[in-house]
């Protein structure tokens, strides 16, 4: 039996052995005679990039039942909640088990609906090779081998890329709605908490601290500070109340499974021979939640849409694709008109306050010092200074000067 080749700088899971990988590949390829001949283990992410999980790449060579030799590469995502310094904050959100449930029970069903019933042969996710709940791990396809890549988070998405995302997003939401219709209760238990919910306020210190940092960052701009500081202090006080209110579906709302955390780095694109995007897949489903797809759109647009593109126009584009998919899948529920869905989208407008102020500064930060959830929640002055620095970058200064007046005009900074 060949010994696995292991990169010594990367601590791979001890159970990731030749026999383990061979058995999982036999099940995945439905080939009981498959023989693993090579196994090389290397890190897929840099050390220290993620406290809560380790991404490992395994390069394999194997013989199938006909003795043909194949080579392939897969990714292994292993979660270590006990080693995550933010586990006390993240644990109540259920993120350590939800993604496993998604890859095991939900994503394969959605992929089948999209391919077989919507007739879209393009991939929607990386295929699940194996889910191991005992070891808190998932093995899935390495999409980089098919030349999938992550777009530039600083540049954000142009119209062509965003419309492709929305087309695939509409398929994801439509297939999820139909899956829930066919299997009532499939999303009843594990999909009730995203960043705002009625169960935990773990993110409260992060969200409040980030808005406080925004206020401090305005102190050297007297006009902006005088105009918005007091209103932003009100946002600090009420951000959890308003966010939780935003998450509660209203009577008649169209609801489905939402990704919950879709922004530039949680999707991967593939270009055609002319260099134009031909497909996008979605990754990282830890915050998936059963709710209005409008929260997905508010979050996506505020974090990942280039500033010169109208979000209302993008809502119209998405709605057309959603209606088309729901009709093709013979969805039995009420399909919202564009007018009704635009109202549903506007009713979630407060979602852009937290995504723009609490998350976007870190998403668009390009400095050397790593920013983390722990630093966001910390009361230490050095961490408060670090948070202020996120708002002092040129890109965030430009965005804040544009966004604050817009949010103010919409009443999002007032008591609601």
| Strand partners of residue 60 | 39, 72
E strands along 133-255, which residues?
Answer: 137-141
Domains of the chain, residue spans: 5-84, 103-126+154-409
- Residues counted in the chain: 416
Contact predicate 131/138, CB 8 Å: yes
Phi-psi region of 258 (alpha: psi -120 to 50; beta: other; left: phi over 0): beta
CATH number listed for the domain at residues 103-126+154-409: 3.90.1200
Map residue 316 onto helix, strand or coil.
helix
pLDDT for 45: 66
Cβ neighbours around 337 below 10 Å, total? 11
Interior angle at CA 71, CA 66 and CA 75, nearest 5: 125
Please give the backbone phi and psi of residue 339, each rounded to the nearest 5 degrees, phi first.
Answer: -60, -45
Instruction: Identify the CA nearest to 151 among candidates 62, 270, 258.
Output: 270
- Angstrom distance (rounded) from CA 315 to CA 311: 6
Task: Give the residue from 203, 223, 410 showing the smallest Cα distance to 302.
Answer: 410
The set of residues, in sequence order, having a beta carbon less than 8 Å from that of 132 and lying 6+ positions away, is 138, 139
Helix (H, G, I), strand (E, B) or coil at 75: strand
Distance CA 268, CA 281 (A): 5
Report d(CA 246, CA 136) in Å as an integer: 32
- 124 near 110, Cβ under 8 Å? yes
Q: What is the dihedral of CA 147, 148, 154, 155, to 10 degrees?
A: 80
Residue-level pLDDT, tens digit, the chain, 416 residues:
444 444 444 457 889 999 999 999 999 999 999 999 999 999 886 543 444 577 899 999 999 999 999 999 999 998 866 667 777 888 899 888 899 999 999 999 999 999 999 999 999 999 999 999 998 899 999 998 899 999 999 999 999 999 999 999 999 999 999 999 999 999 998 899 999 999 999 999 999 999 999 999 999 999 999 999 999 999 999 999 999 999 999 999 999 999 999 999 999 999 999 999 999 999 999 999 999 999 999 999 999 999 999 999 999 999 999 999 999 999 999 999 999 999 999 999 999 999 999 999 999 998 877 788 889 999 999 999 999 999 999 999 999 999 999 999 999 999 98
| Burial state string for 33-44 with b = 16 or more CB within 10 A and e = fewer than 16 | ebebeebebebb
């Amino acid at each position: 039996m060949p010994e696995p080749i292991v990169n010594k700088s990367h601590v791979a899971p001890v159970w990731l052995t030749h026999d383990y990988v061979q058995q999982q590949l036999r099940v995945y390829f439905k080939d009981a005679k498959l023989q693993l001949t090579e196994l090389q283990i290397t890190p897929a992410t840099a050390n220290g990039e993620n406290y809560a999980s380790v991404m490992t790449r395994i390069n394999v060579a194997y013989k199938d039942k006909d003795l043909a030799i194949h080579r392939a590469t897969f990714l292994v995502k292993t979660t270590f909640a006990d080693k995550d310094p933010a586990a006390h904050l993240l644990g109540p959100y259920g993120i350590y088990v939800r993604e496993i449930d998604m890859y095991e029970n939900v994503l394969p069903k959605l992929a089948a609906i999209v391919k077989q019933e919507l007739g879209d042969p393009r991939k929607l996710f990386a295929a699940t090779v194996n889910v191991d709940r005992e070891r808190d791990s998932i093995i899935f396809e390495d999409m980089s081998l098919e030349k999938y890549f992550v777009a530039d988070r600083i540049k954000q998405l142009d119209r062509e890329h965003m419309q492709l995302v929305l087309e695939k997003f509409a398929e994801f939401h439509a297939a999820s709605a139909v899956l829930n219709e066919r299997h009532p209760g499939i999303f009843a238990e594990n999909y009730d908490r995203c960043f705002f919910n009625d169960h935990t306020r773990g993110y409260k210190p992060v969200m409040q601290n980030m808005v406080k940092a925004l206020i401090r960052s305005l102190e050297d701009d007297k006009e902006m500070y005088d105009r918005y500081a007091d209103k932003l202090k009100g946002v600090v006080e009420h951000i959890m109340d308003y966010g939780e209110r935003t998450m509660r579906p209203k009577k008649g709302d169209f609801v489905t499974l939402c990704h919950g955390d879709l922004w530039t780095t949680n999707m991967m694109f593939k270009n055609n021979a002319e260099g134009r995007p031909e497909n996008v897949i979605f990754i990282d489903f830890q915050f998936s939640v059963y709710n209005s797809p409008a929260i997905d759109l508010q979050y996506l647009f505020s974090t990942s849409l280039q500033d010169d593109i109208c979000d209302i126009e993008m809502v119209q584009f998405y709605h057309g694709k959603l209606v088309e998919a729901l009709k093709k899948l013979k969805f039995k529920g009420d399909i919202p008109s564009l007018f009704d869905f635009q109202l549903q989208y506007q009713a979630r407008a407060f979602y852009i306050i937290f995504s723009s102020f609490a998350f976007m500064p870190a998403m668009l930060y390009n400095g050397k010092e790593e920013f983390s959830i722990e630093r966001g929640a910390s009361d230490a002055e050095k961490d408060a200074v670090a948070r202020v620095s996120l708002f002092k970058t040129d890109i965030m200064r430009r965005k804040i000067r544009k966004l604050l007046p817009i949010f103010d005009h919409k009443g999002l900074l007032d008591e609601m």
